[in-house]
A and B are shown apart, each in its own frame.
Chain A
């Protein structure tokens, strides 16, 4: 193999690299350029003067930026553990032998939340959690919980958003963890079952090592996805009430496209980009560790 020429490889790869440079990298460089200028579309007369790091200084001292980042972290540390816990529970159910028809029905049904357009998830959430005719209040009424104004109350709106996120992304955790469970050698698992009836002990000592790579992947990818979270929030709450559900991407969109301060929005985007790059470094390092590349 090594004696072969690598020239064809260049021609095979060049078109895709050029395309990604043009659409993925050039705009980012342009954003960096914009972030160094004052650039407000709502004030065209002001022009586009160079202001150095002023926009970054604004980002770092902007309480709203940090509180939206804080909300993003709160969202992450609330939603993801729930998704992992329920996901693991469902994965164990799907892994357990017996009831094979029911198991395949369950496996197929998991695809529905994953394939649902994020914007539509938000719309469904807005319908289900409606104060007046939402089915959530109706069902909670069956067990005696009083009517809640889900989307009108800052805390409850955040909770409702998390519920929709859990609905959509738990199957992702289930499928990844299920893939991990099926990596456990059959003999090892059966031997362990003869040894102890405790499913918890089998999970801890036998299955856990096979679940760890999947768990790492989940943590990193979910973090990246929460940083991206926009569509669902936009359709479900628009970041409100007040700024209660304004996660980082929603805030940047507001600054850029509703306040039209594109210089500041660019600086915020560049800061967010740094987080994204760190995450993908972590992903490469810990999840792709054993890839053939």
Chain B
């Protein structure tokens, strides 16, 4: 390569870099953008033969989805279920994470392995037996059954993210408190938990997102009363003329809060998705 060619290459490199990044941004955003804009179109514009790029937005689809199609109720259900399962996961998971970070005991590796396995197991494996159990306990179409079954993935998330966080809290603090005569629970509750709060919050947000995003369990275990938002979005899918504006309005209301939550924890999203193996 001649010096000139190298110089040209150096000059155009930033242009290529910029264009590449622009492609990344546009493709990441496009389907989301298309959902949001479709939700703001009139019925005719949403299914126009030549897709409409410019139009005057309307909120009619949101009104119809929320008040005529029961999506408001479904969103409320989703909020209740995701909040409760997250709270329960944090209450059960943080002490376990603390113990995994601080104590040595037999079977620790196996226990850890078991938490990981819960992440790998396909939900359909559990959906079949859980449906039968819930059916015989009369728990079908209740918030409770979803709150409990979502623990199978929210609890492991809390455990693996918080274990990591507790490892970062200096052991010297524990030792000092112990010399003062503090009991194990006090050391955990008063010293470690407040210091590990950033991790607890991240794991809580991720738990909430995963619980909110589920469709399979909701499809199998709920009918009308406890129907969650993704199930409500799916319920429009019958007949030939689909109300695409309303479907996409529902989709937007489901996805937008999750995108905001995920952005809040974007720095630790990968940690959550890989169970702490990649940071």
Which residue numbers of A lie inside 8 Å of B, CB to CB? Answer: 1-2, 4, 6, 8-13, 15-17, 19-20, 23-24, 26-28, 30-31, 34, 89-90, 93-94, 96, 98-99, 102-103, 105-121, 123-128, 132-135, 138, 164, 167, 171-172, 175-176, 179-180, 197, 213-214, 217, 221, 224, 227-228, 230-231, 234-235, 248-249, 252-253, 256-257, 262, 265-266, 269-270, 272-273, 276-277, 279-281, 283-284, 287-288, 291-293
Contacts and interface: CB of A to CB of B under 8 A. Distances in A.
Contacts of A257: 131, 220
A170 to B, nearest CB: 9
B255 A31 contact: no
Given A16-B95, A23-B130, 20 more contacts: A15-B95, A20-B115, A28-B126, A31-B129, A105-B21, A114-B262, A115-B261, A116-B31, A117-B230, A124-B251, A128-B34, A135-B51, A172-B270, A180-B278, A197-B6, A224-B120, A234-B219, A253-B127, A270-B125, A276-B121
Interface size class of B (residues with CB under 8 A): 35 or more
Contacts of B125: 28, 31, 269-270, 272-273, 276
B234 A234 contact: yes
Given A118-B215, A120-B233, A276-B125, A109 B155 contact: no
Contacts, number: 313
B130 to A, nearest CB: 5
Contact of B185 (A8, A235, A269): A8
Contacts of A19: 88, 92, 151, 155
Interface stretch (B56-64, B65-73, B106-114, B196-204): B106-114
B25 A120 contact: no
A132 B258 CA distance: 31
Contacts of B274: 176, 217, 221, 287
Contact of A124 (B9, B24, B35): B35
Given A107-B266, A116-B32, A234-B219, A12 B99 contact: yes
B33 to A, nearest CB: 9
B179 interface: no
Nearest to B276: A291
A6 B120 contact: no
B122 A98 contact: no
A102 B118 CA distance: 38
A94 B275 CA distance: 23
Contact of A235 (B102, B129, B167, B237): B237
B179 to A, nearest CB: 13
Instruction: Identify which of B28, B88, B148 gathers the most chain A CB atoms within 10 Å of its CB.
Output: B28
A133 B51 contact: yes
Contacts of B34: 124, 127-128, 135
B55 interface: no
A23 B151 contact: yes
B32 to A, nearest CB: 5
Given A123-B251, A231-B215, A280-B119, A256 B31 contact: no
Contacts of B176: none
A146 B116 CA distance: 47
Nearest to B257: A115
Contacts of B113: 280-281, 284
Contact of A2 (B28, B104, B151, B273): B104
Contact of A115 (B22, B25, B262): B262
A230 B124 contact: yes
Contact of B103 (A9, A30, A234, A273): A9
B14 interface: yes
Given A117-B212, A138-B50, A276-B121, A27 B261 contact: no
A232 B248 CA distance: 15
12 contacts: A9-B99, A23-B149, A27-B133, A112-B259, A114-B269, A116-B259, A124-B35, A171-B28, A213-B278, A234-B216, A253-B220, A257-B131
B129 A108 contact: no
Contacts of B216: 230-231, 234, 249, 253
Contacts of A96: 17
